[in-house]
Structure 1
Amino acid sequence: MNKEDSMNAEVDVAIIGAGPSGAVAAALLRKAGRSVLVLERQHFPRFSIGESLLPQSMAYLEEAGMLRAVVEAGFQYKNGAQFVYRDQASAYDFRDKHSKGWGTTYQVERAVFDDLLIRCAMEQGADVRFGHTVLAMKTGDAPVLDVIDEAGTQYQVHARFVLDASGFGRVLPRLLNLEAPTRLATRAAIFTHVRDGIPVEAHDRNKITVAVHPEHRDVWYWMIPLANGRSSVGCVAEAAFLDVDEAEREEKLRTLIQSEPTLNRLIGNAPFLMPVRHIGGYSANVEKLHGAGYALLGNAGEFLDPVFSSGVTIALRSAHLAVQTLERQLNGEVIDWHAHYDAPLRKGIDTFRAFVERWYSGKLQDIIFTPDQTPAIRRLVCAVLAGYAWDETNPYVADAARRLDTLHEACMLRD
């Protein structure tokens, strides 16, 4: 038997990508007794952005049998978000929210977090191949993947179904020409890690800080305290605002940090711990999140914007919904993937989108920084910020765009 033949595989489910959605989907499928092969182009641990989780995601980690490993890993505890603009500040405690469920979570170094999750999936019996790249896919009732490893050996994977959890790699949207326009503007981010050295009494490390540029309200920063005295810090703006040569990125980010009063006070001169990175054009969409023999998870299907840290939560929610739907199909039911997966997942994505769009228009910023906010309404908004974007008992989920616009009008009348 040659090497190619020995690497060929027949499995119930092939998963492209070993990030959070792929790892959780693999673990859930193994719990159901399915054979799973995960194909990951990179080697773990590897750097990734998206370090601030939302409490909603904890339920999916628990469901996948990963909660204890995450809790014991020593990540930075998180209980909310603080928003700042010039001399205004507004903090949301995720434990004081409308929706039932987790109110706390963690801020994580994704290299460690992602590696932890896929190792948990491997311990549950998932076969994971690092350094393997999917070249092509034959769709249909018996999908086939053409794969190549780093030694150049090509082989095939025959599966009953394929889940694309490739994140920003967007393997199947690229290979199958599934891309669709996104309504969001083309934005970019520059970011790094700093040795923050912030005294405990000077700042609440249990909350992400989202700061608005003092002169440009569509430009914002994140500061995410991590364990061991590090923080992730970055700036998001329309691509042209951050369009500098690679050699100038460090100076650009340092200048931007020092132009925002809160961040300047906390980390204005903090040493950068790695080269300043850039990511652009990350907002993405597809017409459908499923097709003949496959479904798209997380960022492989749609990515909105990092402002509310929704990426990992959407990824884990997609894994949960896709596995629920796929299990029914593998058990012999005729499944309408649009009704059982696509539409329910997009409901929460559309909720987040309504919040993101109004953040950049300034309406949501006006709401967040309105003084003397009504506690009941504040808890409803807080629930979405905590990731509960699928809880339709919340009017800011059931009818997000109209409700936010009406709330904004009321806030402006109060002024």
Structure 2
Amino acid sequence: MTTHTSERTSVDVAIIGAGPAGAVAAALLRKAGRSVLVLERQHFPRFSIGESLLPQSMAYLEEAGMLQAVVEAGFQYKNGAHFICGDKSSAFDFRDKHSPGWGTTYQVERAVFDDILIRCAAQQGADVRFGHAVRAVHTGARPLVDVIDEADRAYQIEARFVLDASGFGRVLPRLLNLEAPTGMPTRAAIFTHVQDGIPAGVTDRNKICVATHPERRDVWFWMIPLAGGRSSVGCVAEASFLEVPEAARDAKLRELIQQEPTFNRLIGNAPFLMPVRHIGGYAANVERLHGPGYALLGNAGEFLDPVFSSGVTIALRSAHLAVETLNRQLDGEEVDWSAAYDVPLRKGIDTFRAFVERWYTGALQDIIFYPEQAPSIRRMIAAVLAGYAWDESNPYVADPVRRLNALHEVCTQR
């Protein structure tokens, strides 16, 4: 039985979700002197997928005062991406890129990484409540958030603004019926962690490895080396390709890994460290990223696909842009959220979208494996793969669809 209390807490900003977007937004708001309450349904640390960060995200961790904690955590260093298709191979070093900024980052166990970030936000004065679930949000000039804790006590938060950083939980899109078609096919992923046992020097642990299936270019694998001799390993495909009973998932992933020659050689029989997990239908979109008294951050607004590890970078970029915009509004400025937040955030998302779509048609694979790459163009592609999807000095950001299509034409004229 739910216990209703008359408790009503007033804060400047209520944040739903304590993942990377919520933690960084909370820290940035605290830096500006705002009172912040973070509501998180789960308890941390908790497992999350998406271990390979992009260098662009480092700037936002630095801005939020979290960089030292992340650097000192002992995560696996990352400087690029290695793509494999049969006997073809192409490695990108993110330090050799068109855009200025960080060229290195980390491959992280998300349970540890997310816990570090939200604890940094708490140390900066954010009120973080684990085990508190949002049941309703009444939007408007002074939004009200209905919350229930694990003891079944219900209470209300009165906020000047609400940020939804609930990730795949997508709290506000569900509560406010904001969902929109994604235009992306329904794909799924099966994945686990392995004790990889790869001898030093056999593979470059400083890069994520992405390999295509020998017979299907739209099916691909990831191997993300982590600290301590572990790797995150998974396969992404159209949902029907991975549809097996839960009890058969371990065998399915093992079989798929053994079908790809490089992965079979490196980790074909490596012991799985946890049961194989499945996530499906993760592509998501909304009609708009903001409304009266609220804005959506990261995956709560839109998620494309895991192929280029863009999720955390988009989440942190959204936190940065939203807080910039919100601080102006809380200071009394008249703010156009569409112009200041929605449009600029979607610019980078649309850049990633152009790359993702062409990965699955095979066009981007033709570009990545083209043997006579011009160094300047290669650096432009590397910049986007490193997360610099908002740098419009890069032609493949300013006009990604036209530029990639033209480049593909060049790469296939043989």
Q: Same fold (TM over 0.5)?
A: yes
Q: For residues 404 and 135 of structure 1, do their structure 2 counterparts lie closer, same or farther at Cα, with a shift above 3 Å needed?
A: same
Q: For residues 198 and 6 of structure 1, do their structure 2 counterparts lie closer, same or farther at Cα, with a shift above 3 Å needed?
A: farther
Question: What is aligned with 2:30?
Answer: 30
Question: What is aligned with 2:56?
Answer: 56
Q: CA deviation at 1:201?
A: 1.1
Query: Using the alignment, how far apart are the partners of 2:215 and 2:5 within structure 1?
Result: 61
Alignment gaps of 5+ in structure 2: none
Q: What does the per-residue CA deviation read over 1:244-274, in whole Å, with 9 as the maximum and x for residues that have no partner?
A: 0000000000000000011001000000000
Question: What is aligned with 1:318?
Answer: 318
Q: CA deviation at 1:380?
A: 0.3
Letter in 1 for 2:348: G
Q: CA deviation at 1:310?
A: 0.0
Question: What is aligned with 1:196?
Answer: 196
Q: Does 1:377 align with 2:377?
A: yes
Question: What is aligned with 1:14?
Answer: 14
SS at match of 1:307: coil
Q: CA deviation at 1:8?
A: 2.6
Q: What does the per-residue CA deviation read over 1:265-286, in whole Å, with 9 as the maximum and x for residues that have no partner?
A: 1000000000000000000000
Question: What is aligned with 2:260?
Answer: 260
Alignment gaps of 5+ in structure 1: none
Question: What is aligned with 1:144?
Answer: 144
CA contact (8 A) 2:5 2:153 kept: no
Query: Using the alignment, how far apart are the partners of 2:200 and 2:179 within structure 1?
Result: 46
Query: Using the alignment, how far apart are the partners of 1:61 and 1:114 within structure 2?
Result: 12
Segment of structure 1 superposing worse, 45-54 or 6-15:
6-15
Q: CA deviation at 1:200?
A: 1.2
Query: Using the alignment, how far apart are the partners of 2:198 and 2:205 within structure 1?
Result: 9
Query: Using the alignment, how far apart are the partners of 1:372 and 1:250 within structure 2?
Result: 40
SS at match of 2:111: helix
Letter in 1 for 2:326: L
SS at match of 1:274: coil
Question: What is aligned with 2:160?
Answer: 160
Segment of structure 1 superposing worse, 253-262 or 7-16:
7-16
Question: What is aligned with 2:231?
Answer: 231
Question: What is aligned with 2:401?
Answer: 401
Q: CA deviation at 1:4?
A: 5.6
Query: Using the alignment, how far apart are the partners of 1:169 and 1:329 within structure 2?
Result: 27
Q: CA deviation at 1:6?
A: 7.4
Aligned residue pairs total 412
Matches within 5 A, 1:272-283: 272-283=272-283
Matches within 5 A, 1:13-412: 13-412=13-412
Query: Using the alignment, how far apart are the partners of 2:7 and 2:402 within structure 1?
Result: 53
Q: CA deviation at 1:5?
A: 4.7
Letter in 2 for 1:10: S
Letter in 2 for 1:313: T
CA contact (8 A) 2:5 2:154 kept: no
Query: Using the alignment, how far apart are the partners of 1:165 and 1:213 within structure 2?
Result: 34
Q: For residues 249 and 184 of structure 1, do their structure 2 counterparts lie closer, same or farther at Cα, with a shift above 3 Å needed?
A: same
Q: What does the per-residue CA deviation read over 1:18-65, in whole Å, with 9 as the maximum and x for residues that have no partner?
A: 000000000000000000000000000000000000000000000000
Q: What does the per-residue CA deviation read over 1:173-224, in whole Å, with 9 as the maximum and x for residues that have no partner?
A: 0000000000110000000000000011100000000000000000000000
Q: CA deviation at 1:7?
A: 4.8
Query: Using the alignment, how far apart are the partners of 2:124 and 2:143 within structure 1?
Result: 24
Aligned structure 1 segments of 4 or more residues deviating by more than 6 angstroms: none
CA contact (8 A) 2:13 2:36 kept: yes
Q: CA deviation at 1:372?
A: 2.1
SS at match of 1:275: coil
Q: For residues 223 and 71 of structure 1, do their structure 2 counterparts lie closer, same or farther at Cα, with a shift above 3 Å needed?
A: same
Query: Using the alignment, how far apart are the partners of 2:210 and 2:6 within structure 1?
Result: 51
SS at match of 2:100: coil
Query: Using the alignment, how far apart are the partners of 2:345 and 2:4 within structure 1?
Result: 38
Query: Using the alignment, how far apart are the partners of 2:6 and 2:196 within structure 1?
Result: 50
Q: What does the per-residue CA deviation read over 1:127-167, in whole Å, with 9 as the maximum and x for residues that have no partner?
A: 00000000001100000000000111000000000000000
- Scaled by the length of structure 1, what TM-score is found? 0.99
Query: Using the alignment, how far apart are the partners of 1:396 and 1:265 within structure 2?
Result: 35
